[in-house]
Structure 1
Amino acid sequence: MERAVNHRIQDYRMMIFGEVVKLAWAGKLKHEADELPEKILKGKHLDERERRIIENHIRISMGLDPLYGIAHHKLGEDVDSAMNQDNIKAPLVSVIEDVCETCQRHWQKERGEEEERCPRDHLDCTEEAHRCIGCGRCIGECPLGAISDKIEFLPVVKLLQEQQAPVYATVAPAYVGQFGEGISPGQIRAALKRLGFTDMVEVAVFADILTVKEAYEFDHMVKTEEDYLITSCCCPVWVGMIQKNYREIAEHISPSVSPMIASGRVLKVLNPTAKVVFIGPCIAKKAEAKIPELEGAIDYVLTFRELKEIFAALEINLETLEEDNREEASFAGRVYGRTGGVSEAVERSVERILKRDVPFHSISFEGTGECKAGLEKLLKGELKANFIEGMGCTGGCVGGPRAVVSIEEGKKAVDAYSQETPMSTPFDNDNVLQLITRLGIKRWEALEDDREESIRGLLGRELKQ
């Protein structure tokens, strides 16, 4: 029942977003935004609270904060600021207070009664709490849809229509299978180009590069049976959880950025005027793109659900599009889309290039609960592994809160796509070799050397401990 309720809420949210997309794309949003609430409810009479709720859903769809207590403020007045945002401002997760007032938890609290635990209480999204890890669980657990993440599409509309700079769509490895049965990567690329993107680039290519980096990091950091490396590819929930709650082991985290951040950094080195829009299943990626030491790599983040609604709203039928296929990544990069994929990719690469006395032994955790339990065992010395992977969502990225298909369907699609390529590791991938050569990197081993400013600036980060 909870899953069905959540689906209805998300369908409603996407319906509102779809109406915003149509008007924004046609250049009519500023003039027609104030009539949207009635259009959405097909002329039904709205009381004051209902109107505020719908207006605030529209504001979140435009990438803006909800408004409260401002009399006679019209939606049309918000459109210019929404279209001209250089980046979507924090907080990225917003709460529509008028919805909360209809919740039994709210009234139990008002009466001083013992109440059910509210997602806002145990998954606090405020800066002051220092507890939010960006997983998006609070959004899914709110039965009334009062909590939602801002959508970053309106400023992207301006980029795509003005065409003043190349705009690249970088897509997460979990994208295969998300947009309909039989829809190929080439058709998704063609659809994105029809929207006005210069090209679609698979983030799996950059996962290939970071696989090599972590393979060499593993070799340098794991010399004895007691040593271990915690991967930082590619889940910000996992890294954030360790940095905020398990600082005593943070020194074991790989200093590599995620493939998403690497994609933006590399594309902007190759073309300094480029804009990069990441597309994935994850709410946490919206927050990761705005971490101060990572900021600037990715301009905007969209989710699979949002992109599917954009295609529908603009009547782009992927089934009718001609293939625009390109073989970009190896098995190692493609398999990042599901739990255990990073471990498998790094293990294949370690075995390919290194002879070791201490063998590679990995363990993978999925979901915040399992990740926390695994880290507690690590602290107690109860884990027999030297490569430790964590994914904040069950199933890994295919289980992200903004994925379109089920975890099982997503995993099946990722596995099938990974097996289709003859390239087993990044060392088999000529695309990667050509790419790092263009970046001035002459040796595979150099990818691990964060002492080199060029490598650190592209693939490394300073981890707070």
Structure 2
Amino acid sequence: MSNTTNNYIQKYRMKVFNELVKLAWFGKLEEEIEELPHKIIENIKDEKERKIVESYIRLAMGLDPINSNKSLREEARKALLLDKIKKPLVSVIENICEQCNRFHEGSCPIHGQGCMNDFEECIGCGQCIEECSLGAISDKIEFIPVVNLLQEKRYPIFAAIAPAYAGQFDESITPGKIRTALKMIGFSDMIEVATFADILTMKEAYEYKHLMNNKKEYFITSCCCPVWVNMIQKKYPTLLDHMSPAVSPMIAAGRVIKALNENAKVVFIGPCIAKKNEAKEEDLEDAIDYVLTFRELYEIFDALNIDLKNLPEENREEAAFTGRVYARTGGVSKAVELTVQRLDPHSNIPFKSEAFDGAKNCKDGLDQLLKGEIDATFIEGMGCIGGCVGGPRTINSIEEGTKRVDAYANGTSMKTPFDNINALQLLTRLGIKRYEMLENAEDEKVKNLLVRNFKN
């Protein structure tokens, strides 16, 4: 298993995190953290360079890097006791930024050019983080406070893993090996978020059918991507009337797991920076306790010397084709189309989809939609090129990730949510005894688990 990122800054950032994982896991974080800057850079030149390294250390512990007068030892003690990582989740490291005299043309899809300075306007795509060659912009990592949860075992703690995971590690590393590895470090179980994508596919299929029967021109999916949802909320609020009120599969997973497991903690693992922010939105923060990325998970396994290739399998089939294919561009559209066809195979309701990927393409597509230039009834958007397999915290290339996700999606005999007995059993345990109940967004059980109210 090898980390394929070619970005020097990200390799440096992950080196810091890797060292922190070792210290925290073996109970040496407070004791040895003051020496860590010199371990990362053997000959620190000056005070400014030391502060830059310390800023990366603070971010890797889930803390703010700016205006901190506390020692690293005090910060480590604080990080280990955090019950939530607080906003802002993305920070600008000032000592690096001072060295930059370039104007980053096109680095922000909202402002068009220049670095993002107004974080109220930020849609969370992470493009500025990836494009900053000096590494001045970075996001917090949320693993250090999870260490105590995993080691103390006071609560059941579940890893809810995004559908894109099937394409991220070495081809020989199966879902069953990843589940085994996560259990080895203390997780109670690994749950595939694709199962909840199946449930939401069914919900959106009912919503689509209802809107088309009521002569709406088009339906906008809200599933999956917080970048897409944020863009519509902040920049295109007049389109909210056409958008599904469903939560994302990540939020549905967290809420359902907690509804069925008292005192459970849920850690989402995915390809995305924006999911860290989504988990902390005011109307959604009940669902997910911490968010990790695939790249961070790679470093955790590496730091703890876990060799996934040689682990035993713990495989089980949790999701249908429809839930698994969410991980790539056009996947949500395909999932809902197949499900609409199964709902009513003789219906004359049209299904013409349009899928946008990449934040700029999403923005351009929404502009065209407002001008009436798009002839489609189902509109999908994903903030990353290629969809989730192209997320800023993936390991493999978009092409390889897409190929493996397609293989994983086609590797199950369950084609739609109707075939997924796991999803139906989950709903039954929640008191939602028939898929038809998902059609009623005012049903209290459905509303509490699967619906959100968009602020217009």
TM-score, normalised to structure 1, is 0.94
Whether the aligned pair in 2 keeps the contact of 1:224 and 1:358 (CA below 8 Å) is no
Whether the aligned pair in 1 keeps the contact of 2:5 and 2:11 (CA below 8 Å) is no
Aligned in 2, Cα 1:278/1:327: closer, same or farther, shift over 3 Å?
same
**Aligned equivalents of 1:45 and 1:289: distance in 2?**
37
In angstroms, what is the RMSD of aligned CA positions?
A: 1.6
Equivalent residue runs for 1:169-208 within 5 Å: 169-208=159-198
Residue 65 of structure 2 corresponds to which residue in structure 1? 66
Deviates more, 1:445-454 or 1:218-227: 218-227
Whether the aligned pair in 2 keeps the contact of 1:235 and 1:258 (CA below 8 Å) is yes
Whether the aligned pair in 2 keeps the contact of 1:169 and 1:278 (CA below 8 Å) is yes
Whether the aligned pair in 2 keeps the contact of 1:93 and 1:125 (CA below 8 Å) is no
How far apart are 1:320 and its partner, in Å? 0.8
> 1:288 and 2:278 equivalent?
yes
Residue 111 of structure 1 corresponds to which residue in structure 2? none
> 1:138 and 2:128 equivalent?
yes
How far apart are 1:92 and its partner, in Å? 0.2
SS of residue matched to 1:390: strand
Deviations 1:50-100 (A, max 9, x none): 100001100000000113473xx4201101211111111110001110111
After the TM superposition, list the runs of 4 or more consecutive aligned residues in structure 1 that deviate by more than 3 angstroms.
Answer: 67-70, 115-123
Alignment partner for residue 84 of structure 1, among 60, 69, 81?
A: 81
Alignment partner for residue 391 of structure 2, among 389, 395, 400?
A: 400
> 1:359 and 2:358 equivalent?
no
1:65 corresponds to which letter in structure 2? D
**Aligned equivalents of 1:123 and 1:418: distance in 2?**
38
2:62 corresponds to which letter in structure 1? G
Deviations 1:199-247 (A, max 9, x none): 0000000000000000000010112665211001110000110010011
SS of residue matched to 1:325: coil
SS of residue matched to 2:167: coil
How far apart are 1:429 and its partner, in Å? 1.1
Deviations 1:11-49 (A, max 9, x none): 1100010000000000100010000011112x3243111
Aligned in 2, Cα 1:388/1:312: closer, same or farther, shift over 3 Å?
same
Equivalent residue runs for 1:418-429 within 5 Å: 418-429=409-420
> 1:48 and 2:47 equivalent?
yes
2:26 corresponds to which letter in structure 1? A
**Aligned equivalents of 1:126 and 1:192: distance in 2?**
37
1:448 corresponds to which letter in structure 2? E
**Aligned equivalents of 1:444 and 1:45: distance in 2?**
61
**Aligned equivalents of 2:117 and 2:182: distance in 1?**
32
**Aligned equivalents of 1:344 and 1:357: distance in 2?**
18
Residue 11 of structure 1 corresponds to which residue in structure 2? 11
**Aligned equivalents of 1:122 and 1:409: distance in 2?**
31
Equivalent residue runs for 1:314-393 within 5 Å: 314-354=304-344, 355-393=346-384
- Say how many residue pairs are matched: 448
Tell me the percent identity: 60
Residue 159 of structure 1 corresponds to which residue in structure 2? 149
Gap regions ≥5 residues in structure 2: none
Aligned in 2, Cα 1:255/1:186: closer, same or farther, shift over 3 Å?
same
Deviations 1:237-281 (A, max 9, x none): 001100100111111110000000000000000012100000000
**Aligned equivalents of 1:226 and 1:408: distance in 2?**
36
Residue 457 of structure 1 corresponds to which residue in structure 2? 448
SS of residue matched to 1:44: coil
How far apart are 1:119 and its partner, in Å? 5.0
